[in-house]
A and B are shown apart, each in its own frame.
Chain A
Amino acid sequence: MKILVVDDEKDVRALFEQRFRREIRSGQFAFTFAYSGEEALDFLHAHPSEVVLILSDINMPGMSGLELLKRIRQEYAAPPPPLPPQVMMITAYGDEESHQQALQLGANDFLTKPVDFTALKAKLTSMASHEN
């Protein structure tokens, strides 16, 4: 299952790679990282229908996570093919307003920082098993 992580903090990569070491090794998950909304869109355009799940930070300079979400939902508006990716929003501001906005824009889930990796792992594993 290919997962795209979008966050302006570059150390997120090391964190994810270590947290999901076993899953990555076993080939259960494959992570790709983008450091801005724009970069994420570029990647999606270059690799269509590869990414199954997008984990995106909301609060980023430039294109915000919500903006990215909006763009993705617009581009994948028409039903398959390709299958639209799942989008999980992650934010340091766990406020209700952002939450509502994210859901309204079509986010599949909403997480707050600091990310509970155990819970996240469980969610991803269940998604992966669903997919299979």
Chain B
Amino acid sequence: MNFNTSVLISIVPALLIVRGLRRFLDLPVRMPRFNALLNHIWVPGVVLMGLAYLFEWKSDQLDEFYIFIVLSIVVLVLIRLSFYRPARTLLLAVAPYTLYAAIELLIAVTGRDLLKEYDDVFETSQGFAFIWLFTFLFIARSQKKSLEAERLQREEEEKAKRLIEAQNAELERLVAERTSTLTQQTEELREALTELRTTQAQLIQAEKMASLGELTAGIAHEIQNPLNFVTNFSDVSAELITELDEERQKSERDPELEAELLEDLRQNLTKITFHGQRAASIVRGMLEHSRASSGERQPTDLNVLADEYLRLAYHGLRAKNKAFNATMNTDFDPNLGQIEAVSQDLGRVLLNLFTNAFYAVHKKQEAHPQDGYVPTVSVRTHRTAENTVEVHVRDNGAGIPEGMQQKIFQPFFTTKPTGEGTGLGLSLSYDIVTKGHGGTLTVESEEGTGTEFIITLPA
């Protein structure tokens, strides 16, 4: 029995080569099917051995032939993987040796003499092929390493990029969330603002109506007086006519008396007209006061306006408290002239200031009933050298403590008991004078002496 055991021995390096190839080229990943086939690398060796045994063929070249087959398979694998640079380098490394092995095998099979004859050449070639092989193996290895490093770096970068993208997405989400919250808040604020505006408008209207309520009694009184005159003068005129008729029936008429009666009649009619107009103007003023302000400026006589509202305010308080009485002093500048103003609005300001003034003197009177205190409210108008007009509303009430003077123009600030004042009067007045008319509203007050409000308006 003569086995070609050298083939069996050759299977071992073949397996090692396959193993190295697999690891170096990642074959299970790159070529899974071919990789599986490589498990059977021993098959050709065993087949060769089997054939040699069957044909009782003994050859020294059998192992070399097997190695050549293995090398060819390696070259085949490398060609298939030539897109991979280390594989190409590896191909370059293996090619000369494979070529050498092929030539050697071919020569050995055809003529052994040639081999012996050029023994040196062959040995040198083999040496070179080996050196070549190992050099390029080394190069391939370093190429692979650098490629690996590059890949790792790429992966790192990829990872970092993914991380940044994830963070970006998270940020986007947060921003979107925040934006939606903000949008919602804005919406809520807008709604609140709208609601506030509505409430403010309602409050202003309520304040207006409240002051109108205070006015009602004053207005009633102010209308009652002229109406009484209208009634009385009409009555008395009827009497005069009767008298005149009687006179004309007499045989001896008194022309002097007749003339006097006629003159009185004429006078009465003038008075009826005058008082009728007086009542009408008060009604008109009341309607104007209750109407929403048109905001239109018209030539306004502040003296007339101040006088009208002073009386209304006085009678308003009188209606609520019959025992109340106050001295009213007026000092109207005859050279005041007319100014462009929204008279309803300024009327409200004046009414508010007068009402406050009467309220103040009334409170002081209540507190000191026996001191001979004369409650006095004064109004003075006056045109300044700076071409502005001023309205001074002064009372000799208790005065406003200094700490409170800054607060009185704030909305809802009131010293009156709950239900008696809205706390909006002065704040609205302030707005009307400053924003509405480009003027100023200031206060000067001394505790125990009194308070003076000064409206200054451009003439």
Contacts and interface: CB of A to CB of B under 8 A. Distances in A.
Contact of B271 (A14, A101, A113): A14
A50 interface: no
Contacts, number: 62
* Minimum-distance CB pairs A-B, first 9: A114-B228, A64-B325, A18-B236, A61-B328, A62-B327, A97-B322, A95-B322, A15-B232, A98-B322
A76 interface: no
Q: Classify the interface of chain B: helix, strand, loop or mixed.
A: helix
Interface in B190-238: 221, 224-225, 227-229, 231-233, 235-236
A62 B322 CA distance: 15
Nearest to A18: B236
B275 interface: yes
A75 interface: no
A26 to B, nearest CB: 13
Contacts of B233: 11, 14-15
Contact of A113 (B228, B235, B264, B328): B228
Contacts of B235: 117
Interface string B310-331: 0000100011001101111000
A67 B325 contact: yes
Given A9-B229, A93-B221, A117-B236, 18 more contacts: A11-B233, A14-B233, A14-B267, A14-B271, A15-B232, A18-B240, A18-B264, A19-B236, A62-B327, A62-B328, A64-B325, A92-B224, A93-B322, A97-B323, A98-B323, A113-B225, A114-B232, A115-B232
> Interface extent on A, as a size class?
20 to 34
Interface in A7-29: 9, 11, 14-15, 18-19, 21
Nearest to A8: B225
Nearest to A66: B325
A21 B275 CA distance: 22
A118 to B, nearest CB: 10
A117 B239 CA distance: 12
Nearest to A60: B325
A92 B239 CA distance: 24
A115 B224 CA distance: 12
A59 interface: yes
Interface string A35-57: 00000000000000000000000
A62 to B, nearest CB: 5
A15 B229 contact: yes
A101 B322 CA distance: 11
Nearest to A65: B325
B224 A113 contact: yes
A14 B240 CA distance: 13
Interface in B223-271: 224-225, 227-229, 231-233, 235-236, 239-240, 243, 264, 267-268, 271
